[in-house]
Amino acid sequence: QGVRAAGPNATDLHTRIVGQVERELIQQVLLACERVQIKAAARLGINRNTLHKKLAEFRIENNDSGTGSTNGPGTGDPASPSHPPAGEE
């Protein structure tokens, strides 16, 4: 009743806030799982396909295919992708 009493804008605000929190959670879990989608999906308790849809919905780029591969670009520290690994500056 509290949300209805506040009017239609309260629902929009709720939707935006939930979306922001969900986006941040997905980003943090991806980082914690070294951007491996299947691990992140398991940690979030959702199917990998659902995670893939959420990544598209929130326009979150993820360089890993979810296979666990660590070869190729973007496999350094995911928290700071713009910094080269130590000794390669």
Is pTM, for the whole model, over 0.75?
A: no
Helix axes 8-32, 37-44, angle to 10 degrees: 130
Is pLDDT of 8 > 60? yes
In a domain, 26, yes or no: yes
Q: Which of 55, 69, 56, 49 is nearest to 27 (CA)?
A: 55
pLDDT at 62: 84
In a domain, 20, yes or no: yes
Q: Which of 64, 40, 59, 61 is nearest to 51 (CA)?
A: 40
In a domain, 8, yes or no: yes
In a domain, 63, yes or no: no
pLDDT at 88: 44
pLDDT at 63: 74
74, 81 in Cβ contact below 8 A?
yes
Q: Which of 70, 79, 84, 80 is nearest to 36 (CA)?
A: 70
The total number of structural domains in the chain stands at 1
In a domain, 45, yes or no: yes
- Any residues with CB less than 8 A from the CB of 71 and at least 6 apart, and which? none
In a domain, 87, yes or no: no
- Could you read off the pLDDT of 23-75 as tens digits, one per residue? 999 999 999 999 999 999 999 999 999 999 999 999 999 875 444 433 333 44
Residue type, 75: T
Which residue range forms the structural domain that includes residue 7? Answer: 2-57
Q: Residue 15: give its domain's CATH number.
A: 1.10.10.60
Residue type, 77: D
Residue type, 24: E
In a domain, 29, yes or no: yes
In a domain, 82, yes or no: no
Between 76 and 14, residue with greater pLDDT: 14
